[in-house]
A and B are shown apart, each in its own frame.
Chain A
């Protein structure tokens, strides 16, 4: 954890009504690296990910205490516009969810929302984003085709391109490969490796091998608490907590 921290989470509690989904979570997430959240279902890892771009705001009864700072700004502070935050913190979901529009319009969707209308500017953003998502060569000749005509893996890379098109600093990946076949999964993992030089990536994964393969830091969650947080190599080879060891050796979860 030598790199500078971009995201600082401080004593975060999150409640869904009376149920406490996150308990006193404190974490520092380093800039331009891949951080993986692992843990059994319902441990709070996806919940924490969704606090980073405030997608939990939309869930009725969700309440947050504590603070999250991204680049020094408290994102739950009163003067932060959630739309501005989400421009800076992009997200890729579990299921590929392209809009039923053309490939071009999918990528241009975000920039258009934020007021870019010039054709040439949009063209450039679309090309750059698709190149960054390693999809350009496959789709450059039929940008007008429906996004739904792409394969699952291509759709997911399109969703990554769409997220990159608004120019984020952080990319959240919420089990982004769990609906994909192994080959598409590898492609997304390779892509994440390339993107980490420019973006801070936080991924939630069910697949421990994936965390071990791609991430630099790994956070192990259990019942809404952070059990262990260390460099990926250390966490998988020499965990300091018995519960971590039980989980990664497959004794539960």
Chain B
């Protein structure tokens, strides 16, 4: 239903146009760009860290109380409401670093939001790899790192990618964190790579036009923006999935 209302009215101008505060016909260009830019930055921070933490917890961490405590913390963090991460982002970037609302702050806060989830997913996927495969690799004289690289990660990749899709989708649609840390305005330019610009994303723009904006066609913009948002989340899933499907088909042979 959301798609039916929004999709037919989409136009290139809408996708790339600058938003308007007062008149009709504003676009979502900068917000769309910021969405991708912030998503990319946050994933670039959280995927390596999250995977490293997950690999450590699954393969190297000793079995003691401290690690059990860490695990509970990770689990707890992954269920903390996102707005808390937003508040954390404000106090870190605005109060301590005096940076104002920036793309950098948004991306880092979003990365914090994603981290626990990615860590959990990586750890669980690695743990679900059959011990027989690990043993097979060890019995051929591989080191622990070689086994992780050549057997565990390839076999667990499906689960890890699923986790990345879920987090990427959630991060793309995330509004609370971004409102607080990257703001509800853009710099007004379409291609603005400056990390210190304000960085309103598509989801935030959606919230903004629905609740605060005074443009006469706010409802129309919201519908179209919604359609775009849904399509992109679907597309993110497809882009990550297709190579895996192809690989799985080959391996069933």
Binding site for B on A (CB under 8 A): 53, 55, 58, 60, 83-87, 90-91, 93, 95, 97-101, 109-110, 113-114, 145-146, 148-149, 159, 162-163, 166
Contact = CB atoms under 8 A, between A and B. Distances in A.
A113 B140 CA distance: 9
A31 B69 CA distance: 51
16 contacts: A55-B135, A58-B138, A83-B141, A83-B142, A84-B141, A86-B139, A90-B139, A90-B140, A95-B132, A99-B133, A109-B137, A148-B252, A148-B253, A149-B253, A166-B140, A166-B141
Contact of B140 (A86, A98, A145, A146): A86
A113 B141 contact: yes
Contact of A91 (B130, B139, B253): B139
Contact of A109 (B130, B140, B143, B250): B140
Contacts of B143: 83
A99 B132 CA distance: 9
B246 interface: no
B158 to A, nearest CB: 10
B146 interface: yes
B23 interface: no
B251 A148 contact: yes
A113 B142 CA distance: 6
A113 B155 contact: no
B136 A86 contact: no
Contact of A110 (B63, B140, B250): B140
A146 B141 contact: no
Contacts, number: 70
B151 interface: yes
A145 B253 contact: yes
Contacts of A162: 136, 140
A53 B139 contact: yes
A55 B138 contact: yes
Contacts of B253: 145-146, 148-149
Interface residues of B, number: 22
A226 B130 CA distance: 32
Contacts of A145: 253
B131 to A, nearest CB: 9
Q: Which 8 A-B residue pairings sit nearest by Cβ, starting from the closest? A: A146-B253, A149-B253, A86-B141, A97-B132, A110-B140, A91-B139, A87-B141, A146-B251
A97 B130 contact: yes
Interface in B185-227: none
A181 to B, nearest CB: 19
A57 to B, nearest CB: 9
B128 interface: no
A159 B136 contact: yes
Interface in B91-135: 130, 132-133, 135
A55 B141 contact: no
A116 B6 CA distance: 57
A107 B178 CA distance: 50
A100 B153 CA distance: 12
A93 B130 CA distance: 13
B20 interface: no
Contact of B155 (A84, A85, A100): A100
Given A60-B63, A97-B130, A145-B253, A113 B150 contact: yes
A175 B151 CA distance: 24
Contacts of B142: 83, 110, 113
Contact of A97 (B135, B141, B146, B154): B135
B140 A99 contact: no
A113 B146 CA distance: 8
Nearest to B155: A100
Contacts of A146: 250-253
B133 A55 contact: no
